[in-house]
Amino acid sequence: GAIVCSIFVGFFMNKKQIYKIFSKFISRKIFLIWLFFIRFISPIAIILVMCYQIFV
């Protein structure tokens, strides 16, 4: 579920709408860093944890 959620938020949700929600709390630069992590780092980290749990 976490992989699907991070991929959906990172690639399919409208970036402007997400930023509109977060703009009250964080700057644009921090938002872009967060979006990068949601798109690329989170799915890889989740897959690594799942593989570790399966094979160890």
Sign of the C-alpha dihedral, residues 21, 25, 27, 29? negative
Q: Identity (one letter) of the amino acid at 49? A: V
pLDDT at residue 12 in the model: 95
pLDDT at residue 8 in the model: 94
pLDDT at residue 14 in the model: 95
Q: Per-residue pLDDT tens for 1-56?
A: 899 999 999 999 999 999 999 999 999 999 999 999 999 999 999 999 999 999 98
| Rounded Cα gap, residues 43 and 48, in angstroms | 9
Q: How far is CA 43 from CA 3, 15, 25, 27, 40, in A?
A: 5, 18, 24, 24, 6
| Rounded Cα gap, residues 45 and 48, in angstroms | 5
